[in-house]
Structure 1
Amino acid sequence: MDAKFMNSLYPYQFFQLTYGPFHPTLSDREQFPFLYQMAPEDTSLPMAMVSLILHFSWNWVGLTISDNDQGIQFFSYLRTEMEKNILCFAFVNMIPLNIQLYKLRAEVYYNQILTSSSNVVIIYGETDSLLSASFRRWTSRGIKRIWVTTSQFDVTTSQSDPLTELFHGTLAFAHHHAEISGFRNFIQTLNPLKYSDEYLAGLEWMNFNCEVSASLCKTLRNCSSNSSLEWLIAQTFDMAFSDDSYDIYNAVYTMAHALHERLLQSVDNEEVHLSNCMKLYSLIRKAHFTNPVGDRVNMNQKEKLQPEYDIFQIWNFPNGLGLKVKIGMFSPYFPHRQQLHLYEDAIEWATGRRQMPPSVCSADCGPGFRKFRQEGMAACCFECSPCPENEISNDTNVDQCVKCPEDQYANAEHIHCIDKTVSSLTYEDPLGMALTLMALCFTAFTSVVLGIFIKHHDTPLVKANNRNLSYTLLVSLIFCFLCPLLFIGHPNAAKCILQQITFGVVFSVAVSTVLAKTVTVLLAFKVTTPGRRMRFYLIPRASNFIIVICTLIQIILCAIWLGVSPPFIEIDAKSEHSHIIIVCSKGSMIAFHCVLGYHGTLALGSFIVAFLARNLPDTFNEAKLLTFSMLVFFSVWVSFLPAYHSTKGKVMVAVEVFSILASSAGLLGCIFIPKCYIILLRPERNSLKKLREKASS
């Protein structure tokens, strides 16, 4: 009955008990005061369907409903439940009630389902609706989907073999109720051909609940409509009414209880007025009893409990005969996440496997990836992007990757954080070993040169180039070559301070000695001419004053450095992916650059003085050698600055060590190698006679 017909009965005050799906419009007490719906309101049905969707890890489902009050109310409840659990609709089709409007849009609805990436479609409507006709049309045209619906919706199709597509079929929710007493005996004597009424022969209570072995149920494939159903009883099939039939069953018992109660009241009052509808209606509204199958029936709308649901996998056989395989149930009275209970064995038998096919908008983002949503995409739709550097994700579908701690690094797959290896520029490291070997070799070579100069200290070449300053320079170069050993090895606070202070002071001695040599050469030719009164500048101690004063200035700069911000141990966890580098930080970078700048100032002074004295006439004039040595010194340290600031960790330390070795080697090679060549290989040029011959010519 529809609402218009119900409304037409209102003036006559006919009391009505209706079966079929709960209709929200008919629940209006003011508009329909004498109408009572036997079916409970399906407020928990959306919750049950969402629980099933979550169980099978679906999140992308289609929805097709009738465009009426029932469909819209169901859609509202279902959308609320899906939004709570971050589930999405692939599409929503609302099938109109007007057949002309439906014909105009029928192909659109079909294409919507056909082209959708969703494998699951929820259908909610009535058996005699255009939605039912649409469903038959879609299945006949070969659309393979998992249809989730209710047992009140007609899901029988013309498929002849239910086992051809085990991954697709119909999952139906039906109100849970016990078996009707005597129904089994009735079915045992039933033959559909005895009934001329096709509707009677195709009643939904001809669907059977199979809870036995697969071998027994497979015999249904040979079932035909002209055979007696008596043989089914021997197979111990459980049989139950459909929801509509059960509502009628309860309606009959409700009327019986109300009439019985009215009769008892009339006997007590010695009067019988069974025609009084209002009194009968009052009794019906208050009726509550246990029906013969053991279910509680409460006619008070306000006290009516939410229904429980059985879940069926439906097989369709020829001539409209359907087989329901019960695969689980849903009860809203259990704790959250425990309301759905599925029979895994039954699912495996009914579908061929325990897992249903997937129905998701986007494939899962596995470990090592994170979900990335673009603007306008549904909450269930996303793209997967790898975790950024040094971040991991060890779960699926994470929104954000987790950054590894500084003492750990992400593996190549960005799944786990691995502890970093603590390292520094040690003697065991290949780079540290190479630099150590270079430092020791240069130290030994410089010591050999010093020995050569000491052995030939009385030769004109050694005397002419101020042997005391040469000794001082060679000794300072030995310390310059040994200085890198402080940079190699596991650093500590003392080594960090000694590195920079030793480097600053020792190099100041070396460069100031070069400056003293160049000044001595220049003065030797400029102020020693007859009649000059500046000869006192050439006393041996004058050059020593230059070295002491220049070195003292550097010591003062280093003292300020230590007082303001001294070097300290720094843990570098970022320079290398899998290592924690322990290095010595410079502390005050301004002080460090001041020390380097002072070295550059001394070198520049030496270069200018040596350049001015480069063409002075003397056999053993070393001004040209000093000029070239300062040019090499400048080249090394000018290259050092950009290289130093563009590297980190061990490489940064190695750059500084290499610059120390290279600049020291430049001074040694440019100043002393040519002299050693003459002393060792051309001794004839290292004689006073040769010097006089050169001077006279």
Structure 2
Amino acid sequence: MAPKSSSLHRGIVRLLAYFQWNWIGLIVFDDMRGEEFLKEMREEMKKNSVCVSFTEKIPLSDRKNRETSEAFTSKILISEVKVIVIHTDTDSLTIMGNPPGFLFPTKKVWIATSHLDTTTRALYHYGFTFHATLFFSHWTTTVPGFESFIRKNNSPLSMRNSFIQARMPSLLKCSEQPDIPEQDLYLPNASLKHLPFYPVDMTTSALSYNIYNALYAVAWALHEILMKRYEKKSLGNEESVLPHPWQLHSYLKNTQFKNIVGEQVFVDENRRTEAQYAIMNYVYFDFYNDHLLYVGDFIPEAQPGQDFTICANVIVWNLWSSKVPSAVCTASCPAGFRKLPLEGKPPCCFSCSPCSEGEISSHMDAEQCEKCPEGEYPNEQRDRCLPKFVTFLDVNDPWGKAVTAVALSLSLLTALVLWVFVKFQDTPIVQANNRNLSYLLLTSLSCCFLCSLLFVGRPTTASCLLRQTVFAVVFTVAVSSILAKTIIVVLAFRLTGPGSRMRIFLHPRVPYCVVLICSGIQGLICAIWLGTYPPFPEADTHSESRHIILTCNEGSAFAFCCVLGYMGFLALGSFTIAFLARNLPDAFNEAKFITFSMLVFCSVWISFLPTYQSSRGKAVMIVEIFSILASSTGLLGCIFIPKCLVILLTSWENTIKQNKNQRGSRSKDFSFFKI
């Protein structure tokens, strides 16, 4: 007669998931019904990430055995599990309701699948109580006349001492009950509706309701049998009108009727309806003061979202705190962390690990951390993404101001040196080193300092195309001029003997041809670079976690390496030739200066390569600007500053020497160095 309970496990797991309980114990009877319930619970709990700490099976043959009860109860009480699901009948309360001896207080939340037996109270003991118990009770309908019967035979005062009492929750928004003075409850004509705890038997228990339907089913079956007997008797059949007991089953199997509350009742296993459950909270204070609170319901056949209702704010968990108990193997991982499974442990037991750099987890108990979008970065807690700041080497930044000031200052200094050389162009020290090449070298060095400014400011298509190519061509002109100077010095001292055929290489146009050819090759490389894979503006979102760096992508890394490699080849050639000519005799031989300047140049750019590869963001541009300024300053300082000091501080001696040279006092002829 009872409705089907095939959805009971779903309701229990919904309750566990609602309170976020994922570490529970299971207690069942050791029979087929218990095994089936365990199987259904495990499948449903797996879907909702709920784990079982232990499973206890109560032997049917040892229900009254004191030793079994003691061992069973002690094991439950010493367990760290705070929530225990018990799927048994009312007899199981006898086993767990009376533990022997003194036990330490242990707070447990019980989820029972049968209604508490109202004739046997669960006694309170230290270490064990049914105080915080939630019952899944079959939902029943009020039987008309039952309340009148109870009111007629019992007074409100006797009801308080005779039944476990239930009430609809007054703290819920669903319903409110008026406050009734306690003295009014004991009047002879007091109504049961005025009791603060409304008797549960007003609607009858599930067991009583099923018995009620069963009795009516038997009555209907007997009625059918008697009606057929009377029909036979009226036809002259003298067979006894009393039915035989063995005939009742066939009539009972086909019986169907509407009971007094209007529900259709079938005495057929295949036509039973799915049970609807009322969730009751059992509150135990003392032997004469315990109550059942209606706190929710579970209706399996209702629409999704309306099948489960719970009023958590009226549940009484214990006498000291209204806080919902925690029943987890491991505390939840906060946002910003992710769960790491523990070897040999169920999924509910895990450790929490902070998200890696650049990743976040925005919710608790995240399985995996997520990467922020390219335009965002994680905050310090790594629980949400923030927009990145767009930045570049701006002229108003401290580094931008410093680079601009240094570049302009060095360019102005180079222009000043050029002015000195032009003003004192007739001095022997200027004439002896091919002053036109010196002018070209100083002009290219001044442009080298200025081309570093192309790396400052917001990158555009034009600036990206010009910054590397202009720098490469201008620097190549400077290095080519030094190479031409070095070649001329060597030729002047090695190939100027009488009758030497190599004197044709001392033609005044040879240095310019060297500069033109070397610079033309670099220009061709840059043209191919721009024609195939030119540089372009790019937003770098990976170099810095909190910034988007606007920079220039070189387009072709191979072409960029070719440009630098070609300049390095020219610088190495100049260094080698100058080193071989460093000991040539003459007061105006600048091979030593060129050797040292090329040593500085090569050192700077050799250091540049690994530093450039390991730098990120704005540091890449700063490293290249520093290399340009440092190498150009090395050339200017090593080759021209000593000459300027000689020109400015010993100009009178230079004039005297010039006069002596004009009188033929010197044996060496420098006429081929003059313009």
Query: Which of the five TM-score ranges fits, normalised by the shorter chain?
Result: 0.7 to 0.9
2:94 alignment partner in structure 1: 132
How many Å separate the matches in 1 of 2:649 and 2:25?
97
1:66 alignment partner in structure 2: 29
1:481 alignment partner in structure 2: 449
* Post-superposition offset of 1:484: 0.9
2:629 alignment partner in structure 1: 661
Equivalent AA in structure 1 for residue 528 of structure 2: I
Please tell me whether the aligned partners of residues 89 and 114 of structure 2 are also in contact (alpha carbons under 8 angstroms). Answer: no
How many Å separate the matches in 1 of 2:42 and 2:602?
76
Please tell me whether the aligned partners of residues 132 and 318 of structure 2 are also in contact (alpha carbons under 8 angstroms). Answer: no
- Do the aligned partners of residues 429 and 213 (structure 1) sit closer, same or farther apart at CA in structure 2, a change above 3 Å counting? closer
How many Å separate the matches in 2 of 1:683 and 1:102?
124
Query: Does 2:537 correspond to 1:569?
Result: yes
- Which runs of 5 or more residues in structure 1 are unaligned? 1-37, 195-200
1:208 alignment partner in structure 2: 165
**Cα-Cα RMSD:** 3.7
2:565 alignment partner in structure 1: 597
SS at match of 2:496: coil
1:76 alignment partner in structure 2: 39
* Post-superposition offset of 1:648: 2.4
Corresponding residue to 2:395 among 427, 433, 443: 427
- Do the aligned partners of residues 216 and 299 (structure 1) sit closer, same or farther apart at CA in structure 2, a change above 3 Å counting? same
* Post-superposition offset of 1:184: 5.2
How many Å separate the matches in 1 of 2:332 and 2:317?
28
Please tell me whether the aligned partners of residues 179 and 239 of structure 1 are also in contact (alpha carbons under 8 angstroms). Answer: no
Equivalent AA in structure 1 for residue 608 of structure 2: F
How many Å separate the matches in 1 of 2:52 and 2:90?
24
2:576 alignment partner in structure 1: 608
TM-score scaled by length of structure 2: 0.86
Alignment of structure 1 residues 139-178 onto 2, 5 Å:
141=103, 142-154=105-117, 156-159=121-124, 169-178=132-141
* Post-superposition offset of 1:692: 5.4
* Post-superposition offset of 1:149: 0.6
1:449 alignment partner in structure 2: 417
Please tell me whether the aligned partners of residues 167 and 294 of structure 2 are also in contact (alpha carbons under 8 angstroms). Answer: yes
- Do the aligned partners of residues 44 and 523 (structure 1) sit closer, same or farther apart at CA in structure 2, a change above 3 Å counting? closer
How many Å separate the matches in 2 of 1:252 and 1:106?
36
Q: Which moved more, 1:541-550 or 1:413-422?
A: 413-422
* Post-superposition offset of 1:629: 0.5
Please tell me whether the aligned partners of residues 156 and 192 of structure 2 are also in contact (alpha carbons under 8 angstroms). Answer: no
1:470 alignment partner in structure 2: 438
Equivalent AA in structure 1 for residue 167 of structure 2: C
Q: Which moved more, 1:507-516 or 1:615-624?
A: 615-624
Query: Does 2:477 correspond to 1:518?
Result: no
2:650 alignment partner in structure 1: 682
Please tell me whether the aligned partners of residues 170 and 314 of structure 1 are also in contact (alpha carbons under 8 angstroms). Answer: yes
How many Å separate the matches in 2 of 1:295 and 1:322?
32
* Post-superposition offset of 1:626: 0.9
SS at match of 1:136: coil
- Do the aligned partners of residues 276 and 650 (structure 1) sit closer, same or farther apart at CA in structure 2, a change above 3 Å counting? same
Q: Which moved more, 1:279-288 or 1:649-658?
A: 279-288
How many Å separate the matches in 1 of 2:654 and 2:75?
104
Alignment of structure 1 residues 94-493 onto 2, 5 Å:
94-99=57-62, 109-110=72-73, 112-129=75-92, 132-137=94-99, 141=103, 142-154=105-117, 156-159=121-124, 169-180=132-143, 181-182=145-146, 185-186=149-150, 189=153, 206-211=163-168, 233=192, 235-236=194-195, 237-240=198-201, 241-270=204-233, 272-316=240-284, 318-319=286-287, 322-343=290-311, 346-347=314-315, 356-493=324-461
SS at match of 1:54: helix
Equivalent AA in structure 2 for residue 388 of structure 1: S
How many Å separate the matches in 2 of 1:408 and 1:293?
64
- Do the aligned partners of residues 603 and 261 (structure 1) sit closer, same or farther apart at CA in structure 2, a change above 3 Å counting? same
Q: Which moved more, 1:209-218 or 1:423-432?
A: 209-218
Equivalent AA in structure 2 for residue 384 of structure 1: C
Q: Which moved more, 1:628-637 or 1:461-470?
A: 461-470
- Do the aligned partners of residues 318 and 665 (structure 1) sit closer, same or farther apart at CA in structure 2, a change above 3 Å counting? closer
Query: Does 2:16 correspond to 1:53?
Result: yes
1:512-533 C-alpha deviation (Å, 9 max, x unpaired): 1111111222222223344545
2:474 alignment partner in structure 1: 506
* Post-superposition offset of 1:643: 0.7
1:82-111 C-alpha deviation (Å, 9 max, x unpaired): 223222212111122343997776666445
**Count of equivalent residues:** 645
Please tell me whether the aligned partners of residues 178 and 294 of structure 1 are also in contact (alpha carbons under 8 angstroms). Answer: no
- Do the aligned partners of residues 577 and 345 (structure 1) sit closer, same or farther apart at CA in structure 2, a change above 3 Å counting? closer
- Which runs of 5 or more residues in structure 2 are unaligned? 172-176, 234-238, 669-675
Equivalent AA in structure 1 for residue 657 of structure 2: K
Corresponding residue to 1:584 among 537, 552, 560: 552
Equivalent AA in structure 2 for residue 275 of structure 1: P
* Percent of residue pairs identical: 43
How many Å separate the matches in 1 of 2:137 and 2:553?
75
Please tell me whether the aligned partners of residues 618 and 695 of structure 1 are also in contact (alpha carbons under 8 angstroms). Answer: no
How many Å separate the matches in 2 of 1:219 and 1:279?
58
* Post-superposition offset of 1:384: 2.2
